[in-house]
Amino acid sequence: MKEGLGFLKSYSFVIITGGSSGIGLQFVRRLKELKPELTVFNLSRSKPDDEWGGLEVMHRQTDLSSPAELDEALQWLHAKCAAAPEGKMLLINNSGFGSYGRLPCNSIERQLDMIEVNTAAPVNITSNLLPELKRRGGAIINVCSLAAFQPTPYMATYGATKAFMLNWTLALGQELKRDNVQVQALCPGPTESRFFKNAGFSSPPAKNFRATTAAQVVDASLYGLHKRRRVIIPGWKSRLVADLCVILPIELRATAAEFVLRKLRLETYLKHP
Ligand SMILES: NC(=O)c1ccc[n+]([C@@H]2O[C@H](COP(=O)([O-])OP(=O)(O)OC[C@H]3O[C@@H](n4cnc5c(N)ncnc54)[C@H](OP(=O)(O)O)[C@@H]3O)[C@@H](O)[C@H]2O)c1
């Protein structure tokens, strides 16, 4: 994996959201493994769980669903950027969560928090850091999802936030094509992490699909950065689903997704919501 990742040499620091678990934690581990002197700034509610020790991360406790907390965290990040050694920066907008069930599954507040964490926060963070990104050069990785390619009944808000992120990321990539800033939309399919449990699945449906691991997702993303690819869909099965989605009319995509998402385990839930 180290092969071809020499481009990281020119990077001096990384800003990540959601480095505390799953894909985000794997990003932190892999980046520190590839370049131990890289400084990592992390925003999430809990600290990255450093079971091996020695994972030096500058953590700022932040609930991204709170605009006030995010504003304070942005001031902290501006100060850290100003003090960081010269070199490129990598911004990874990774924090996100879903919720499984009929609207408004759990609560209306949870749906609105999801929009805040999955879409508003990345737009806010990226827009704030863009001048520094352009000055230093670097890259933005936005963690979208395979869910971005079709409407997702029973995860209606989640899929829509990811469709927003995919379109927004690609548009931003076009705007920045003359700047020294690369932009990547990372679109994983089912991946082993806390995501499904937090979304309210009783057992991870990822198992049924032989989910990719967070390590595979992160390696595909970093390799994609090296190859300057703008959309990364790790795993051939997920790429096949995305290709199929693109050729199907959008109503058919919604119908097919409803069938698949209901099949996963909703029968019981829907009878007794
Ligand atoms: N797992 C999958 O199958 C899959 C597939 C496609 C895309 N994704 C996307 O991948 C990203 C990472 O998810 P994951 O699979 O690694 O799940 P995860 O293990 O549940 O990690 C989610 C991360 O988001 C952070 N987060 C959640 N709510 C937050 C809040 N209010 N404020 C700040 N941070 C918050 C969490 O940190 P704290 O709890 O410490 O705040 C955690 O670090 C998400 O954007 C998700 O939508 C996942």
SS3 readout for 84-126: CCCCEEEEEECCCCCCCCCCCCCCHHHHHHHHHHHHHHHHHHH
Which domains does the chain possess? 6-271 (3.40.50.720)
Instruction: List the end-to-end C-alpha distance of the chain, in Å, as a whole number.
Output: 46
Ligand 1 centre distance from Cα of residue 118 (Å): 9
Give the binding-site residues of ligand 1, using a 6 Å CB cut-off. Answer: 17-18, 20-24, 44-46, 62-65, 94-97, 117, 143, 145, 188, 190-191, 193-195, 198, 206
Amino acid at 243: D
Helix axes 108-115, 156-175, angle to 10 degrees: 10
Q: How many CA atoms does the CB half-sphere of 204 hold within 13 Å?
A: 17
- Residue 178 CA to ligand 1 center (angstroms) comes to 31
Q: Which atom of ligand 1 is nearest to the CA of 186?
A: 7
- pLDDT range class, residue 272, cuts 50, 70, 90: very low
User: Against a cut of 0.85, is the pTM above it?
Assistant: yes
Half-sphere exposure (Cβ direction) of 189: Cα atoms closer than 13 Å: 19
d(CA 219, CA 215): 6
3-class secondary-structure state, position 245? helix
- Which of 15, 17, 23, 62 to mutate for ligand 1's pocket (most ligand atoms within 8 Å of CB)? 23
Q: What is the pLDDT of residues 213-231, one digit of tens each?
A: 999 999 999 999 999 999 9
pLDDT at 182: 98
Ligand 1 centroid – CA 61 distance (Å):
15
Q: What average pLDDT does the segment 64-81 reach?
A: 98
Least confident range from 125-139, 192-206, 227-241: namely: 192-206
Report whether pLDDT(268) > 60.
no
pLDDT in the model for residue 4: 63
Give the position, in ligand 1's atom list, of the atom nearest the Cα of 95.
24
Pocket test for ligand 1, best of 117, 152, 165, 195 (most atoms within 8 A of CB): 195
- The pLDDT assigned to 142 comes to 98
Please give the distance, rounded to the nearest whole angstrom, from the Cα atom of residue 179 to the centre of ligand 1.
29
